[in-house]
Each structure stands twice: as structure tokens, then as C-alpha cells.
Amino acid sequence: MTRRIVVANQKGGVGKTTTVANLGAALHKMGKRVLLIDMDPQAALTATYGIDPYNLPRSMYSVLINENTSIARVLKPVGKGGEMAIAPASIDLAAAEVQLVNASNRAHRLKLGLDRNRIPFDFVLIDTPPSLGLLTLNGLVGATEVLVPVQTHFLAMRGVRGLMETVWRVKKKLNPELQLLGMLPTMYAENSQHAKEVVQELRSVFGKKVFDIMVHNSMKFAEVPVARQTLVDYAPDHDGALAYRKLAEEIVNG
Ligand SMILES: Nc1ncnc2c1ncn2[C@@H]1O[C@H](COP(=O)(O)OP(=O)(O)OP(=O)(O)O)[C@@H](O)[C@H]1O
Ligand SMILES: [Mg+2]
């Protein structure tokens, strides 16, 4: 059984792409077959793997625009040792959102593309843009689980409630299979009383749905994409990499 996990939060810069890339690398290290999907026209995930989003004949754009395209047609292998692939974003993905406004099955295009794929994967991880538009909606409809990175900063909670309302609405109307996998506190500043309070508040509202694992604040995360690598691959024993490796274990073993 393939697990399809969408990483979503309409707030920008909270660690969505970092979470997809590092969780993907950690699952791959555990021997899992991993497919990464980039649904963000900013294409940060795509760029992490050295793929140029300005020069891509086949990308998620094709999958969204052509109802009959299997995701297998746009895959590119990434990482060492095979068994890991990315369905990249190209910059015209932003146009797809507009082009699809009145199209049939517009929220189901990613799901259809995934259902058609015959290449086996254990995990599909979907990165989404910082908005609740059609691209994120396709992610929520195409997945069965949603993982929400929450930056442990001022006002972080504000957007999370709105996001959860959207998730429940999608579950009711479009994708009854959708479950909340959990919330992942990110960019946690150890010495900050404020960060502690944000995590407390998150736990008081969402209880067990908040992972015990927290990703601490570290400049290392911003440095490694330049080397076209994830922190998990570049420095597997770094604190930040360990957090994502623990998260991967928890997701696999429950
Ligand atoms: N734990 C962390 N500590 C410090 N910096 C981090 C951490 N995680 C990610 N970053 C950095 O913060 C920035 C934003 O992270 P990222 O791109 O993953 O967020 P995002 O939610 O995908 O953003 P967007 O909404 O723009 O897609 C990046 O420069 C990234 O390297
Ligand atoms: Mg991103």
C-alpha cells in the first residue's frame, strides 16, 4: 500500500519544502521507495535536486492540464541508489491554476495522475505552495494524509485553524479518506520562552496530533540546498537531520 502524504500550510516559509525533502531522504535511507511531488510554482523542491524549472518539457503542469497523463510520464530519478523520484514543478504551474478554473475534475487532476501510475512507491510526499488555491487543493484531494509543519513563532496558530477548517471541508466534500497525520513544530528556538508557549498552545488545541519530535531552528537547513542536498544526506547526524529521521521512523512504525 502506498501512503500519500501532503505537506501543507498556507503560511509561507514554515518548512514545508524542507520537510518534504528531508523526510523523503530519511524514508529513502530506511529502504523505502519514495516519490516526491512538487506542486509549487516557486519550484524550490525541484531546484533542490538540481533540476531547472525554467527548462522542463514534462512537469506537473502536464499532469494537471492533460487529464489523461500518468504521473509516471514526468518522473525524474533523484538521489543515490535509485528507488527515489521527483515529479518536478515548472514555472508555468502558476498558469495551470488559472487555466483550470472552469475545467472538469480540476481538484482531482493530481489524484487521477497518481491513480494511473503503475510504478510502485511506498511513499508519495507532496509539497504545496503557501496558499489554499487549486494547487494545494489538488494535494489535499490526491493524498490520504496531511502533515502540517507549524513554525513555532508569533502568530503561527492563526493560520493553522483556518487550514484545519479547509482540511475538514475537503474531507467532507471531496476526499473522505483524508486524515490528519500530525503537526510538526519547526524552527524551534530552544532558549525562547515564546517558542515554548507556542508549542504549549498547539498541544492544548490539537493534543496528540502534535508530534513529540520538534525540528529546532538551525542555519544548516538554509545552507545545504546550495549544495543540492538535503540535510539528512549531507549531515545525517546533525540534530536537524536526526529530527527528520525520527519523524520518518515514527511515520513508518506508527
Ligand atoms: N528548522 C529550520 N531552522 C532554520 N531554518 C529553516 C528550518 N527549516 C527550514 N529552514 C529554512 O527556512 C526557509 C523556509 O523553509 P522552506 O522553504 O522549507 O519553507 P516553505 O514552507 O516550503 O516555504 P514556502 O511557503 O515559500 O514554500 C528556507 O530557507 C529553509 O532552508
Ligand atoms: Mg516551499
Q: How far is the centre of ligand 2, averaged over its atoms, from the C-alpha of 28 (Å)? A: 20
- Are the CB atoms for 49 and 78 separated by under 8 Å? yes
Is residue 182 within 6 Å of ligand 1 at its C-beta? Answer: no
Ligand positioned closest to the Cα atom of 11: 1
14 close to ligand 1 (CB < 6 Angstrom) = yes
Is the CB–ligand 1 distance for residue 23 below 6 Å? no
How distant, in Å, are the alpha carbons of 134, 142, 147, 155, 163 from that of 130?
11, 17, 14, 16, 11
pLDDT at 153: 87
The residues spanned by each domain of the chain are 3-253
Query: Nearest CA to 179 among 170, 192, 190?
Result: 170
Verify whether ligand 1 is closer than 6 Å to residue 239 (CB atom): no
What ligand is nearest to the CA atom of residue 130?
1
**128 Cα to the center of ligand 2, angstroms:** 7
CA of residue 74 to ligand 1 center, whole Å: 26
* Structure confidence at residue 81 (pLDDT): 67
Using 50, 70 and 90 to split pLDDT, how confident is the model at 88?
A: very high
- pLDDT tens digit string along 24-48? 999 999 999 999 999 999 999 999 9
Overall fold of domain 3-253: Rossmann fold (3.40.50)
CB 41 near ligand 1, within 6 Å: no
Residue 132 scores a pLDDT above 90: yes
Decide whether any atom of ligand 1 lies within 6 Å of the 56 Cβ: no
Q: What is the pLDDT of residue 159?
A: 87
Does the CB atom of residue 46 touch ligand 1 within 6 A?
A: no
Q: Band of the pLDDT at 99, cuts 50, 70, 90?
A: very high
Alpha carbon of 76 to ligand 2 centroid (Å): 19
Whether the per-residue pLDDT at 160 is higher than 70: the answer is yes
Q: What number is the average pLDDT over the span 137-154?
A: 95
Per residue, the 3-state secondary structure of the chain, as one string, reads CCEEEEECCCCCCCCHHHHHHHHHHHHHHCCCCEEEEECCCCCHHHHHCCCCCCCCCCCHHHHHHCCCCCHHHHCEECCCCCCEEEECCCCCHHHHHHHCCCCCCCCCHHHHHHHHCCCCCCEEEEECCCCCCHHHHHHHHHCCEEEEEEECCCCHHHHHHHHHHHHHHHHHHCCCCCEEEEEEEECECCCCHHHHHHHHHHHHHHHHHECCCCCECCCHHHHHHHHCCCHHHHCCCCHHHHHHHHHHHHHHHC
Confidence of residue 233 (pLDDT cuts 50, 70, 90): very high
Residue 154 has pLDDT above 80, yes or no: no
